[in-house]
Structure 1
Amino acid sequence: MEPARPKLPLEAIELYNQFIHGGMSRRAFMNGIQRLAVGGVAASAMVEGLMPNYALGQQVSRTDDRIKATYETVPSPKGNGSIKGYLVRPVSADTRSATSTKLPGILVVHENRGLNPHIEDIARRLALANFMAFAPDGLTSLGGFPGDDYKGGQMFAKIDRAKMTEDMVASAEWLKARPDCTGKIGVIGFCYGGSMANTLAVRLGADLSAAVPFYGGAPPASDVPKIKAAVLVHHGELDKGTAATWPAYDQALTAANIPHEGYIYPGAVHGFNCDATPERYNKAAADLAWQRTIDWFNKYVRG
């Protein structure tokens, strides 16, 4: 069976990727979509399929009684002073209160638009898998995610990247040190967050048990020996530039004797896990990647 591929032209998805990564203006994106609007697919339908629909992508309601979620502020003296994030824990079915037992922690790092509703939903999904999850908002110093991905991307470009990295390190250390955490943590990230998952694996060394980057950039080969976490990498086959980094990363991880696996998903594009963007979402790839991710965290963070 042929792998599922996007219904829209790949050129449209590439235009969207350039747009959300700051490579073109909104006007240039819309003009490009207009040029591709042939074969009975209207430009408005293309845009609707590419832009996020967070209600469509919500798998776990914010009010689900199986979880308890709060917003917490984490000190980040080496970063932007502090960073706010979304903390989620499962609740006991008997008491309907937060579980009193210690749980392994998973840091959830967003794409380059800040802590949007999709990333919060990822944190809730992890809570239902019996982890405590913390999703920091890298846009905190500018007021946080503005409710619009385009504006979020513009804000993201203004923040000092080195300070944002320190904010993420502070978030991971805070999660690990919480009294309701077992002291074992992992990280999952998407796009920018995927690159950050690899960066945290380098920075945290033995303090991080597992890293799961989705379509993120690999760290420099010279830094790979610093990694002590088990690394699980996910890329889409059609996300050619990012997927092309995997063989060298695989080789470096092997040379450093780091437990790792990597998968290239047939027919999948950049952002294939995001069910809030219908034309990038690839359900078969996303479901398989998610199951592999939970299995990985159960093995290396819970174990």
Structure 2
Amino acid sequence: MDTTSSWINIPAADGQFGAYLALPRGGKGPGIVLLQEIFGVNGHIRNVADQYAADGYVVLAPDLFWRHGPRIELGYDDADWRRAVELKNATDVELAQQDIGHAVHALRAQPGVQGKVGAIGFCFGGLLAYHTAANGQVDVAVAYYGGGIQHQLARAAQVRIPLQLHFGALDAHIPADAVARIATAFDDNDAVEVHVYDQAQHGFNCNHRASYQQRAAAQAHGNTLVFLSEHL
């Protein structure tokens, strides 16, 4: 990919944390804050950042597990799954939202960022993208298989920006009735889109996982790019 990447440091109230910055060819474009899965800013998330940078966006992926150790990077075997769940359960969601706010501020300050800033999140990051939308921290948000959104629907009325949600029809972690409740919560909000992909499981976008589903990943990526182009 014809992109440039580096790590930068972002100040927070209780320290500083790293974030992976990917720049498009020419170094300029709208901004995207990319929110990690429970596996950290690992190779997959960096690949996604590079992918969206190749699509013309300035992408910043903050390390949201930094309070447990800098740049924790996990894979998808059983041991790393257990560690990932431990880290997710130990992460204060309120502090993570504050960190995302700092990352958005840092992204807007990048000289190459032109226009608006969006958020895209996967798995745990999908839930955080939903919170980011409800907080009004960005101009548009996209959440892939955001586990737990169905338990946070009291915040649905606070979402006043365009929001796109992606789910797999075969997701064992987010069952069909949960997706239906989420969709119903946004029935009266024309700025919210819900996409469900047949034969897709949780993590269908990640080609590092056995649940990767190329067709769903391609469709979701296309839907995301159209959505971003309309709102950023």
Q: Same fold (TM over 0.5)?
A: yes
- Structure 2 equivalent of residue 239 of structure 1: 171
- Structure 1 equivalent of residue 6 of structure 2: 70
Mark the CA change 1:299 to 1:82 in structure 2 (over 3 Å): closer, same or farther.
Answer: same
Mark the CA change 1:144 to 1:155 in structure 2 (over 3 Å): closer, same or farther.
Answer: farther
TM-fit CA distance, 1:228: 2.0
Higher Rg: 1
Mark the CA change 1:238 to 1:165 in structure 2 (over 3 Å): closer, same or farther.
Answer: same
- Structure 2 equivalent of residue 186 of structure 1: 118
Unaligned runs of 5+ in 2: none
Decide whether the 8 Å contact of 1:145 with 1:152 is kept in 2.
no
Q: 1:148 aligns with which of 61, 74, 91?
A: 74
One-letter identity of the residue aligned with 2:6: T
Q: 1:83 aligns with which of 17, 29, 41?
A: 17
- Structure 1 equivalent of residue 226 of structure 2: 295
Unaligned runs of 5+ in 1: 1-63, 93-98
- Structure 2 equivalent of residue 134 of structure 1: 60
TM-fit CA distance, 1:148: 3.2
TM-fit CA distance, 1:240: 4.7
- Structure 1 equivalent of residue 134 of structure 2: 202
Mapping of residues 1-303 of structure 1, within 5 Å: 64=1, 66-77=2-13, 80-92=14-26, 99=27, 101=28, 103-149=29-75, 150=80, 151-203=83-135, 205=136, 207-216=137-146, 217-218=148-149, 220-242=152-174, 243-255=176-188, 257-277=189-209, 279-301=210-232
- Structure 2 equivalent of residue 35 of structure 1: none
Instruction: Report % sequence identity.
Output: 27
Decide whether the 8 Å contact of 1:115 with 1:135 is kept in 2.
yes
Q: What secondary structure sits across from 1:275 in the alignment?
A: coil
Structure 2 CA distance for aligned equivalents of residues 221 and 228 of structure 1:
14
Decide whether the 8 Å contact of 2:40 with 2:74 is kept in 1.
no
Which runs of at least 4 in structure 1 moved beyond 6 Å after TM superposition?
none
CA deviations over 1:34-61 (Å, ceiling 9, x no partner): xxxxxxxxxxxxxxxxxxxxxxxxxxxx
Aligned length: 223
- Structure 2 equivalent of residue 13 of structure 1: none
Structure 2 CA distance for aligned equivalents of residues 76 and 258 of structure 1:
35
CA deviations over 1:36-88 (Å, ceiling 9, x no partner): xxxxxxxxxxxxxxxxxxxxxxxxxxxx4x111110111122xx432211011
Structure 2 CA distance for aligned equivalents of residues 193 and 233 of structure 1:
12
One-letter identity of the residue aligned with 2:201: V
Decide whether the 8 Å contact of 2:22 with 2:59 is kept in 1.
yes
Structure 2 CA distance for aligned equivalents of residues 218 and 152 of structure 1:
19
TM-fit CA distance, 1:183: 4.1
CA deviations over 1:142-170 (Å, ceiling 9, x no partner): 33234433145444443433222211222
TM-fit CA distance, 1:258: 4.5
CA deviations over 1:219-250 (Å, ceiling 9, x no partner): 63332222122111111111155243232322
Higher strand share: 2
Structure 2 CA distance for aligned equivalents of residues 158 and 251 of structure 1:
31
One-letter identity of the residue aligned with 2:64: G
**What TM-score do the two structures reach when normalised by structure 1?**
0.68
